[in-house]
Each structure stands twice: as C-alpha cells, then as structure tokens.
Structure 1
C-alpha cells in the first residue's frame, strides 16, 4: 500500500468488497500517459510484428488521454459471480475519473468476452503475444470512454447507472467534475 498511496505509480485503485468487508477483487489504473513507452502493457509488443501498429495507435490517442489498467484480480475460492464483470465495468469509469478518453489494457484471451461486454475493442492488425508468460495468449484491448455502443445491453445499462452514481457522489463531495 505504501508504494501506491502517493499516486506517483498508481493513479487509482478499484476494490471489490464483499458484504463482510473482505476485499475479493481489485484493479490498478495508471496514467494518463505521455508516451507509449511508459505504458507497461505495451512492452510485450516491443520487437514484434505488431509493435509499429500498436505504437501508432497509442501515439494517436495519447493527446486525448490514455490510462492503463493493470493487475486485475478476483478471489478464486470461493468464487463470487459478477466480480469480473464489475471490474470490467470499472474500466470505462477509470477513463472518466482520470479525464482520459481511452483505456489501454493487455487481456488474456480467457477474459476477452467479459471485456468486450463493456465495449472493449481488439485491434485486428496487432497479433497476440505470450504475456505475462507462455501460459497466456494476450491481446491489446481499448476502451473509448465516449463510445460504449458495442457494450452488451445489460452492461451498458449498468455502466450508465454507475456513472450517474459517481456524478452524484462527486457533486456531493467536491463540486463539479467530469460529466
């Protein structure tokens, strides 16, 4: 906690707390970033055939704000249904809270459906890599805070409702913020 509390390395942290007050999931958010090379999730593509395309996408989006999600996790036993979907919905909120338009992530294939349900897009021109090791096939994913049109209807509805709650909470706590 001490290594992230000052905000220098981690701009935000989402925690999922169960009804007993136990943390059962979480995710870090970094950024907004100024260059592709400071985005940890971009590093696995350096030296691959997809590096130039992915770097171009990052360079194009960085002026509009790019944050990165890292280290999403949820408790394995006992499994709590919905934690993954809740963390995936937090991703577009991260962009909004940090006043960035885009969120970049590196997703293993087994998580893609849950991310796509929250409007994540996979660039077709960038090949998958083995990351963090050869057990995983990982692809880059993008969320656009301003375009949730590809989100699953149920997840889109929840994202909108949660955003309204965040707006109301922000107005109560410190006045105007992103809308």
Structure 2
C-alpha cells in the first residue's frame, strides 16, 4: 500500500506565510497559519468552531471572545474543501513558560490527579509544551471520520512546527482511539473529569515528538511522515521499536512521569 501526500506549499507559518498539505485519505487541504498573518482564514476557522461547539451546548468552553484577537494562539490548522470552505481545524497555544498558563488543567482542580497532572506539566515545560485546543470537524463534512483523524495528526505535528518536544490536549474519552492512532498517549493515573458537563469524560493526552512513532498506528504514521516531508520538517525516526512485553503504556517511555 502506497500512501502519498500532495505538496501544495512548504512555507513557515511562524514567519508569516501559510504552510499546507493535502490529506489524500479525507481529500481536504490543511493549512497551518497564524491569526495575524491570515486573519480571514482565522475568523472562518473560529466561526466554524463556534457553530460546532454551540450545536453541542459547549460554546462557553471555546471562550470565543477571549481568543478572537488571536493573541493567545501561536498557530492554527484549518481544513478546507474544494470550495475553500473551512470544515475543521484546531488552534495551538504555547510553548508554555509556567504551569499557571495552562487553563485546561483547571477542571482537575480539587479532584484526584490534579497534583500529578500539574507535576507532569512542570517537568515537561523546560523541554517545550504546546497545547491543541478548539478542535472541531463540520458535522456535514464528507469523510468526516477521516478528516477527524487528520486533525488528530495535526495535534502531533504542532509541537514539531513550534520547536517544542511535547504536545498536549484534553479530550473527550470517546475520541481517544483516533488520538492513540496518531501516537497520543493518555496520561497514566490521571482520572477523567466530567467536563464541560456530566455528558463527557475528559482526560489528558500527551504526544512526545521523540517517541510518538512507537505508539502510532502504521497507516497514521506513514501519513504523518508524508505530511512532515511536505511541510519541510524533520521526520521522526523511521525505526519503530517494539514495546517490551508487560511494559506497555506511557510510563515505559516517560510520558507519565
């Protein structure tokens, strides 16, 4: 099986130009940009996010007014269809300097796992932590599941683009399968929390740019390698070592310590 990614641009979003690639599985173009350099695309991405979050009654978690000016967003990913309609994306914060900057840790305050999660963050910040937030996919997008998988791969790409070692996100428990496929690993011993309400179980996920290829599914890993090449970024190691029997999970590779 051959997996090919079509190159449609290789610019650096942090220098004011749009980086982009096409996902041949979902068929969508994915652009990587900054709000100040691509304000039109930013506002279209954010409007789509607001509609998606509003549909599920979660609009307050988006903090639309607070992020509208783009100041807290280091870069964002926007998936577009053949008509240039934004049909999904996410935004990225960081790299963080202080644990107190990570507002998504707040739902664990006063709950089991809060201290351990804060310690995980504190240990990683010196090596670089960026966080993916406000991920969404349009409900009417064709091949929606494939697009959702591509958005999860963007979470793995974000730290590499921004020169950080770790990617972080807090996600609904029913999405962990696709994040695991892109190399994300659930933080060990951190119980999920009912956030933003009792309908959800939210948990923390880490991507380590040095080891996520060990955990990623083969197809997703091949897609990520192609996307990284298209964006002109260094690829993860091609060798995929096996996890030791009886020692699976993040703690074997320092994800959860």
Which stretches in structure 2 are left out of the alignment for 5+ residues? 1-42, 44-64, 236-257
SS at match of 1:129: coil
* Count of matched residue pairs: 170
Residue 4 to residue 46, structure 1, CA distance change in 2 (3 Å)? closer
SS at match of 1:130: coil
| 1:56-81 CA distance string (max 9 Å, x none) | 10000000000001010010024433
The 5-angstrom pairing of residues 1-179 of structure 1 reads 1=43, 7-81=70-144, 82-147=146-211, 148-167=213-232
SS at match of 2:196: coil
TM-score by length of 1: 0.88
Bigger drift between 60-69 and 37-46 goes to: 37-46
> Which residue pairs with 2:251 in the alignment?
none
Deviation at 1:98, TM superposition (A): 0.6
SS at match of 1:104: strand
Residue 19 to residue 104, structure 1, CA distance change in 2 (3 Å)? same
Residue 127 to residue 163, structure 1, CA distance change in 2 (3 Å)? same
1:50/1:126 contact within 8 Å kept: yes
Which stretches in structure 1 are left out of the alignment for 5+ residues? 169-177
| 1:108-164 CA distance string (max 9 Å, x none) | 011100000001111221100011221110111100111121000000001011001
SS at match of 1:14: strand
- Tell me, in whole angstroms, the C-alpha distance in 2 between the residues paired with 1:40 and 1:119: 24
TM-score by length of 2: 0.62
Cα RMSD after superposing both structures: 1.9
Larger Rg: 2
1:117/1:151 contact within 8 Å kept: yes
- Tell me, in whole angstroms, the C-alpha distance in 2 between the residues paired with 1:78 and 1:113: 20
